[in-house]
Amino acid sequence: MAIITVNNVKFHVQELNPSGSQTIVMVSGMVSTLAQWYFTLAPVLAKKYHVLMFDLRGHGKTEKVTYGYDLTTIASDVIGLMDRKKIARAHILGYSFGAQTALKCAIQFPERFDKIVLIECPSTQHTMIHRYMKENKITDIEKVKRELPNDVLKRYNIERETAFVEGQTDKKRKFLGISMFKTFEFLCQQTTLLEDLLSEDIFPEEDLEKITSEVLLLFGKESDCLKEAERLHNHIESTSYFLKNGGHWFIMENPGDSFDNILHFLQTPVRELIN
């Protein structure tokens, strides 16, 4: 296990195939850790690429800081880690909040990234927090901090004692639910996460249209993020767009279904994929 300090935060970092000629940075989703990749896509990608993974600030074995959960700061964490590892350019792959981070990186630091893989990238105005506040007609952020974690317990069928997560295999259930819940509870109640998420503006279409990197969009057919998928596809010039079986969690439930798409994309110009 490697601990690297960036932006005054101690990050847990793992690498596979460090001698690979090209690097792919993998950014996990909210409340997940680098294990999301370590046991799914990373071993396959590491056959051809140097894979760099890390736990987001406040997640996993990374330092539990109370601030800096906006996309601008998270993107600067990615760049700081690349700088510390002396990686001038890389591909970047992100899931959900990690996909938002990858998109922010492509917009803010276009000179640092080659190909971009966005998996289930939601709108910054359509997060769990936005939906919860709208559905329950709540405007008091302190009330959201108190009530949202328990709502998540019920919504995702997580039990404090049994740590059950609906949709996971028996082997993955153990401790997963309670670990994710504790992380989410900490992020909601002891950090600026909710304020930071609510302050994010939608990615402007003019910024999307300036992206020069080739972008792969992977979304579940039953995802509630498809409206944003279409917007990204329409406004980013070089995109390849695939719908996979399942919903928002499809990449965790059946990662093998996306291996070929991702590997082919990384090795083939997008225009060839489209044509």
pLDDT at 181: 81
| Segment 177-198 mean pLDDT | 89
Which pLDDT tens digit goes with each residue over 120-138?
999 999 888 898 899 999 9
Distance CA 142, CA 145 (A): 5
Q: Of 140, 138, 93, which Cα lies nearest the Cα of 120? A: 93
| % of the chain exceeding 70 in pLDDT | 88
Distance CA 275, CA 273 (A): 6
pLDDT at 161: 41
Q: Is the pLDDT of residue 170 over 70?
A: no
Bridge-based pairing of strands 2-6 and 9-16 is antiparallel
Q: Of 51, 60, 72, 61, which Cα lies nearest the Cα of 7? A: 72
pTM, entire model: 0.90
| Segment 9-16 mean pLDDT | 98
pLDDT at 268: 81
Q: Is the pLDDT of residue 274 over 50?
A: no
pLDDT at 157: 57
pLDDT at 176: 52
pLDDT at 269: 63
Higher pLDDT, 149 or 179: 149
| Segment 241-248 mean pLDDT | 96
Distance CA 77, CA 249 (A): 25
Alpha helices in the chain (DSSP H): 35-38, 42-45, 71-84, 97-108, 128-136, 141-155, 170-173, 176-190, 193-198, 205-209, 226-235, 250-253, 256-267, 270-274
